[in-house]
Structure 1
Amino acid sequence: MSRVCELTGKGPMSGNNVSHAKNRTRRRFLPNLNQLTLMSEKMGRGYSLRISAAALRSVDHRGGLDAFLAKAKDTELSDRALKIKREISKLDDAADAAVLTA
């Protein structure tokens, strides 16, 4: 399983450990990933995703998973998150069509 956030695309970064004597050795900075189940109000079910703590704050700030995915760029999302986004947009399109015909 890769260490990449499924919603933001945030992955490992590299840098240096710097000792008091200024010796530098390479190291990796890993994202703070958590396995969470996020609820979709429009779909009425939960989706298990591996996301970073920063992404969780962004989801809360934007008003939930549906609103976050609506504004998210497709290039940053994982394949699973893209599939969820497409399902939600299909449901929105069907609801809009039903309103127009009524």
Structure 2
Amino acid sequence: MSRRCELTGKGPMVGNNSSHANNKTKRRYLPNLNDVTLQSETLNRGIKLRISAHALRSVDHRGGLDAFLAKAKDDELSPSALKVKKEIAKAQAASA
């Protein structure tokens, strides 16, 4: 399972550990990923995603999963999130 957020595309970053003697060794900084089920008002069901804590705050700020996906760039989304985005857009077009 890749360590990448399905909504924002955040992934591992690299840096250095620095000892007291100032020796440097490579390390990885992993994103804070959580398995969550977000509710879609348009589809009337829950969608399971593995997203970062930052993305979860962004979803709440934008007013839910539907609003977040409407503004999200397609190249940042995972294939499963992109599929959900297209389902939501299709459902909204059918109801309008």
Indicate whether 1:74 and 2:74 are aligned. yes
Indicate whether 1:22 and 2:22 are aligned. yes
CA distance in 1, matches of 2:21, 2:69: 47
Identity %: 72
CA distance in 2, matches of 1:58, 1:68: 8
Post-superposition CA distance 1:20-50 (Å, at most 9, x none):
2211000000000000000001100000000
SS of structure 2 residue aligned to 1:49: strand
Q: TM-score if structure 2 supplies the norm length?
A: 0.98
Note the C-alpha offset of 1:81.
0.2
SS of structure 2 residue aligned to 1:93: helix
Structure 2 unpaired stretches of 5+ = none
CA distance in 2, matches of 1:26, 1:40: 41
Indicate whether 1:54 and 2:54 are aligned. yes
Note the C-alpha offset of 1:95.
1.6
Structure number with greater Rg is 1
How many pairs align?
Answer: 96
Counterpart code for 1:40: S
Structure 1 unpaired stretches of 5+ = 97-102
Q: TM-score if structure 1 supplies the norm length?
A: 0.92
SS of structure 2 residue aligned to 1:8: coil
Segments of 4+ in structure 1 off by > 4 A? none
